Chain A
Amino acid sequence: MPAATLDPRAAIGNAVIDAASHVGRLSYFTLEAIRDLREIRIWWPRMITEAWNIGVGSLFIVLLISSFAGAVTALQTGYQFTGSIPYYVVGTLVVSSIILELGPVLTALILAGRIGARYAAELGTMRVTEQIDALESLGRSPASHLVVPRVVAGLIMIPVLTVLANVTGILAGWWSVRLVLPVTDADFIYGAQSYWRPWDAWYSVIKSIFFAGSITLISCYMGFSTQQGAQGVGRSTTGAVVTSSILILFLDMLLTRLLLNQ
């Protein structure tokens, strides 16, 4: 790590060099993982375990948060537009908000905290206790044993959780709006269908795949790069959550620009 300095130009220079070095190492790390995809016999059984952990372990919190998000979106829409526009618009807004934004982004942010922190802490602890070195010393690839199963499991399960979050959010929005507003089921369905484009569902899934890739790769990379004992594990864990969250928001903007605003 470059020495701390009071000169702002040097500090910016150091930060740029540091960031470039991380990008380079992350790229190399990703290439290693891609190369080890061929060792399917090694990563497949571990991937199943990881997929189960991500899917079952995160299901409750993902569904809980998406249902509250759906309900609050529906209630706020009703509050803002009562008397100004037809009630069926609530259906349009709930479905669009959940599928285009809230479902994938909230799910990804939750999982960046839950899965990202776990991966970085697990792998960071393995690094400082020399377990990763031990794997290498046995002539085995840490990427195929530790990275590929986690990344593939994330790439499969995070989109699945996103779809479930979307469905739950919409149902929760529908249910809550019926409690407080004079919106009939027919109104809600009419609104939901009026501006529905099948591409929106694909867009939601595509976003979640990008988010899954960034959460899992960043967290594994941070874990592998851990140095200096327990403090280092703490730093990597925090770094994994913060970096993946920022990357999720950045990718959200980038993908919206690329996939929706052409």
Chain B
Amino acid sequence: MIQLRGVRKRFGAQVVLDGVDFDVQEGETVALLGPSGTGKSVLLKHIIGLIRPDAGSIIVDDKDVIRLKRDQLAELRSHIGYVFQNGALFDSMDVEENIRLGITDEEKYNDMAYVRERVRQCLGLVNLQPDLVLHKFPAELSGGMRKRVGIARAIAGQPKYLLYDEPTSGLDPVNADIIDALVERLAAELGVTGVMVTHDVRGAFRVANRIALLTGGQIVMQGTPEEFRASRHPKVQEFLERDFDTSFAA
């Protein structure tokens, strides 16, 4: 279980998170919606300890992320897969080496037979043909393929949690649908708990059990997709209408 309480973060004079309370129950997929630049990715990075809050607490599996020592934090991170917005693949390594780094168990990481098998499995899970991409470098892949390799790396260590940072941003609708389907499939097949940061309302409604809206540094609404759609909160209405306009215009 992930639990954030009163999380505050400012960068210089700009307050990004202003007392955020946010919970994720085991087994569910939560979509964190919000306009660009409202601190959704910052919130996600707090969960994995990449950013420290100015105030508040972040509890993952009963562990206070802020108070963990370096080795304890590394251990916790080995149970969390993080999918970065642009893949964040290591450009000096090929696809196989990139995914291998996601194998967080040191014994398995050094067992090359296991590595080869696991890398192929993960590529299969993200609908990529291993023989076509295994020895390609990130620069040789398309944007959608890089995102999928990023997801394959995140799941290689068989994590309990998957955090997706804008997995469909910058993709055309067809590729965005492929990624959304993938997120759904991973939740169903692997049973992982997921948090997906996105500003794509359609994708959020498709994959999430619960949706939260972050705006003005706070979570202003969270609930099931039905509750979210029915909400009369002005910020929710504004967000839904804007997304509808954008989709319609496109």
Question: Contact between B101 and A133 (Cβ–Cβ < 8 Å)?
Answer: no
Residues of B within 8 A of A131 (CB): 88-91
Question: Contact between B102 and A129 (Cβ–Cβ < 8 Å)?
Answer: no
* A83 interfacial by beta-carbon distance below 8 Å: no
Given known pairs A129-B88, A139-B104, A140-B101, the reply for A134 and B78 (CB within 8 Å) is no
Question: Contact between A134 and B104 (Cβ–Cβ < 8 Å)?
Answer: no
Q: How far is the CA of A130 from the CA of B80 in the complex (A)?
A: 17
* B22 interfacial by beta-carbon distance below 8 Å: no
* A136 interfacial by beta-carbon distance below 8 Å: yes
Q: How far is the CA of A136 from the CA of B78 in the complex (A)?
A: 10
Question: Contact between B45 and A138 (Cβ–Cβ < 8 Å)?
Answer: no
Interface residues of A in 100-144 (CB under 8 A from B): 126, 129-131, 133-141
Question: Contact between B74 and A137 (Cβ–Cβ < 8 Å)?
Answer: no
Residues of A within 8 A of B90 (CB): 126, 131, 134-135
Residues of B within 8 A of A141 (CB): 70, 74
Given known pairs A139-B104, A140-B101, the reply for A134 and B84 (CB within 8 Å) is yes
* Dominant secondary structure at the B interface: loop
Report the interface size for chain A: residues with CB under 8 A from the other chain: 13
CB of B62 to closest CB in A, whole Å: 18
Q: How far is the CA of A138 from the CA of B82 in the complex (A)?
A: 8
Question: Contact between B104 and A133 (Cβ–Cβ < 8 Å)?
Answer: no
Instruction: Name the CB-closest residue of A to B79.
Output: A139
Given known pairs A129-B86, A130-B88, A131-B91, the reply for A136 and B102 (CB within 8 Å) is no
CB of A29 to closest CB in B, whole Å: 14
Question: Contact between A133 and B45 (Cβ–Cβ < 8 Å)?
Answer: yes
* B85 interfacial by beta-carbon distance below 8 Å: yes
1/0 contact string of B84-122 vs chain A (CB within 8 Å): 111011110000000001101000000000000000000
Given known pairs A129-B88, A130-B84, the reply for A137 and B101 (CB within 8 Å) is no
Question: Contact between B86 and A136 (Cβ–Cβ < 8 Å)?
Answer: no
Q: How far is the CA of A130 from the CA of B83 in the complex (A)?
A: 11
1/0 contact string of B64-77 vs chain A (CB within 8 Å): 00000010011111
* B39 interfacial by beta-carbon distance below 8 Å: no
CB of A46 to closest CB in B, whole Å: 10
* B50 interfacial by beta-carbon distance below 8 Å: yes
Residues of B within 8 A of A135 (CB): 90, 101
Residues of A within 8 A of B80 (CB): 137
Interface residues of B in 145-198 (CB under 8 A from A): 153, 157
Q: How far is the CA of A130 from the CA of B166 in the complex (A)?
A: 14
Interface-centre pick from A126, A129, A135, A139 (highest chain B CB count, 10 A): A139
Residues of B within 8 A of A130 (CB): 84-86, 88
Known: A129-B86, A137-B50, A138-B157. 13 other contacts (CB 8 A): A130-B84, A130-B88, A131-B89, A133-B50, A134-B82, A134-B89, A137-B77, A138-B82, A139-B75, A140-B74, A140-B101, A141-B70, A141-B74
Q: Which 4 A-B pairs have the closest CB atoms?
A: A137-B82, A139-B77, A130-B88, A134-B88
Q: Give 17 CB contacts A-B under 8 Å.
A: A129-B88, A130-B84, A131-B89, A131-B91, A133-B84, A133-B88, A134-B82, A134-B90, A136-B50, A137-B48, A137-B50, A137-B82, A138-B102, A138-B104, A139-B74, A139-B77, A140-B101
